[in-house]
Amino acid sequence: MDAHEEIEIWHKQRVARLATREGWLAITGRWEIDDEPVDLPIGLAVAEADGVRIGGTLHPFGTSFEEGPRLWEVTRVGDVRIIRVRDPESPSLKGFRGVDRFPVDLKYRVTAQVVPDEQGARHTYASGATVTKASPGRLAFAIDGDTYTLATTWEGTDRLFVLFADATNEVSTYGAGRFLYVPYDGGGTATLDFNQAFNPPCSLTEFATCPIVPDGNRLPIAIPAGERYPLPE
């Protein structure tokens, strides 16, 4: 499989997932559960150490359950406990018209050197939550003869997560930056393909909160690759 085919498959899978109940466009509600009970449409939610009790049933963090056609999720970002509901009849999901993107340009598919840094990286969310994740280091790469670096964190065991901003933000791409996953096998290099840069969930729904791009991941150049501004419904 060549690079163009790989990018096209990734794009089709991305669009297909967004068009399902499991995609971000299907979310129709979000509640933060603190020390006080919260009255949800399906019952009273009470925070506990390992999850949230709703209507007498404990739902551990990281789990979900169905209520008719809707999917309810119980999650946690840092110390913030969150309940979300996904509805296949969501107006945003029904109005989804696909994902706009730049033409594929292999100039922005580069080999990056992994510069070891095992201190980890902290993600600060717009909600105020902070999460520290493990990291193998920064990715150092060159475009047009100039070298840049980006902080990374582990996402599972075989890929890295990169949160970055560039000079296209608020011009042709989402103002708060974009996300990118990088396959990584633990070696000294990784392929950084900005053609697979995608919009964060908070660009798609008001019911998501996203990490803020750290200062060190704000590139001074334009990266006209990957997803553009989300299409209007």
Residue 104, class by beta-carbon neighbours within 10 Å (0-12 exposed, 13-18 middle, 19+ buried)? middle
- 45 contacts: CB under 8 Å, gap ≥ 6: 31, 33, 37, 38, 39, 52, 53, 54, 83
165 near 218, Cβ under 8 Å? yes
- 44 contacts: CB under 8 Å, gap ≥ 6: 37, 38, 54, 55
Q: How confident is the model at residue 89 (pLDDT cuts 50, 70, 90)?
A: very high
pLDDT of residue 27: 97
Mean pLDDT (whole number) for 103-122: 91
Q: How confident is the model at residue 81 (pLDDT cuts 50, 70, 90)?
A: very high
Q: Which tokens in the block code for residue 109?
A: 């598919």
Task: Break the chain into its structural domains and give their ranges.
Answer: 24-94, 97-217
Q: How confident is the model at residue 120 (pLDDT cuts 50, 70, 90)?
A: confident
pLDDT of residue 78: 84
Global pTM reads 0.91
CB neighbours of residue 24 within 10 Å: 21
pLDDT of residue 232: 63
Give the SS3 label for residue 38: strand
CA–CA gap between residue 184 and residue 159 (Å, rounded): 5
User: In this structure, what are the phi and psi dihedrals at residue 74, rounded to the nearest 5 degrees?
Assistant: -120, 120
Q: In the block, which residue shows the tokens 């922005």?
A: 108
Mean pLDDT (whole number) for 47-51: 93
Say if residue 233's pLDDT is above 60: no
